[in-house]
Amino acid sequence: MRGATRDGVMEAAGKIAAIVPPTPLISLQLNGHALWCKAEALQPIGAFKLRGAWHRLSALAPSDRAAGVVAFSSGNHAQGIAWAAQRLGMPALIVMPADAPAKKLAATRALGAEIVTYDRHLESREEIAARIATERGAVLVPSFDDPWVVEGQGSTGVEIAAQLAERGHPGPARIIIPCGGGGLAAGIALACPDAEIIVVEPEGWDDMARSLAAGQIVPVGPDAPHTACDALQTRQVAPITFDVLKARGARGVAVSEAEVETAIRFAFDQFRIVLEPGGAVALAAALAAKIPLGDGTVLVLSGGNIDAQAYARIIAKGAD
């Protein structure tokens, strides 16, 4: 497999700019510092994942499109693939956990994808997806272990740099990025070579942070606690994302479930934007002062696909 490159990120950014407008870069004053929030939750599918999906699928030769695409995902990558496939007239089949948020299952189906569910605790989604892809002759698009996907997600960083420049600001000093498999973080690291990169994971699922600290890939332990951050429940990262982040001296921090809920309420109050737990971890790290809060820090708000009941429960906990 080829590696992801900065040239690939720039190419992806051009392709993505042609089909969706940039998501807002929102100014945030926090403890006297001028921060920015990149609102990827406002993408048409409610998350950044259409970027990598579009870069990958649009690069297929038309003759390779008919057999379709297969992917596995807890929901946001599923919607990204389904969205891109629908635009290209390709069939899409997504392997999703049976306990994925109902909203993510419904939204993926609404984009015309076929869904096969599996038991998160007993079955291997990778095996199921690979078997179906082979049977159909379809292209398999993993959610992060793929150079096209990493490059596509990196277009987020190209937009951030352009939006700061448009407003007369220097490039991003530091970018704080939610991390499951690390595709978004590695892509942004390639896009923004001068920024400090910090990834954020839920407590107990901070395998990228521990891998970066150890200098080698370390999986999530078998005793990982429950987390509401379904989008970030990746048990092991891949060399394609890890190597980029390690070479850049990136590091990671972990946030608690309570810190994530605080961030969700903050985004409701201050931005009028709905965030899902996994999409709120970078903001959570900033609000909990777990990252340096200097000027030019950019927080990526990566997704907003959360079931209504879960969201109502979190929001109602805040004092009015």
In the complex, minimum distance from the CB of residue 264 to a copy of itself, in angstroms, rounded to a whole number:
11
Nearer to a copy of itself, 129 or 158 (CB): 158
Strand partners for 115: 94
What is the distance between the alpha carbons of residues 259 and 280, in angstroms, rounded to a whole number? Answer: 9
Contact 15, 58 (CB under 8 A): yes
CA 308 to chain centroid, in Å, comes to: 21
In the complex, minimum distance from the CB of residue 25 to a copy of itself, in angstroms, rounded to a whole number:
8
Strand-strand pairing, 92-97 and 114-118: parallel
Give the footprint of a copy of itself on this chain (CB under 8 A): 21, 23-27, 41-42, 44, 46, 102-103, 167, 265, 268-269, 271-275, 304-305, 307-309, 311-313, 315-316, 318, 320
Nearer to a copy of itself, 127 or 166 (CB): 166
Exposed / middle / buried, residue 115 (Cβ in 10 Å: 0-12, 13-18, 19+): middle
In the complex, minimum distance from the CB of residue 107 to a copy of itself, in angstroms, rounded to a whole number:
8
Nearer to a copy of itself, 76 or 297 (CB): 76
In the complex, minimum distance from the CB of residue 56 to a copy of itself, in angstroms, rounded to a whole number:
23
> Which positions ≥6 away from 49 have C-beta within 8 Å?
43, 73, 76, 77, 79, 80, 81, 143, 153, 303
Nearer to a copy of itself, 3 or 171 (CB): 171
Strand-strand pairing, 25-30 and 33-39: antiparallel
Q: What SS3 class is residue 317?
A: coil
In the complex, minimum distance from the CB of residue 181 to a copy of itself, in angstroms, rounded to a whole number:
22
CA distances from 183 to 26, 30, 90, 149 (A): 23, 28, 23, 7
Nearer to a copy of itself, 145 or 276 (CB): 276
Question: In the 8-state DSSP scheme, what is residue 47?
Answer: B
In the complex, minimum distance from the CB of residue 224 to a copy of itself, in angstroms, rounded to a whole number:
25
Q: What SS3 class is residue 40?
A: helix
Nearer to a copy of itself, 53 or 138 (CB): 53
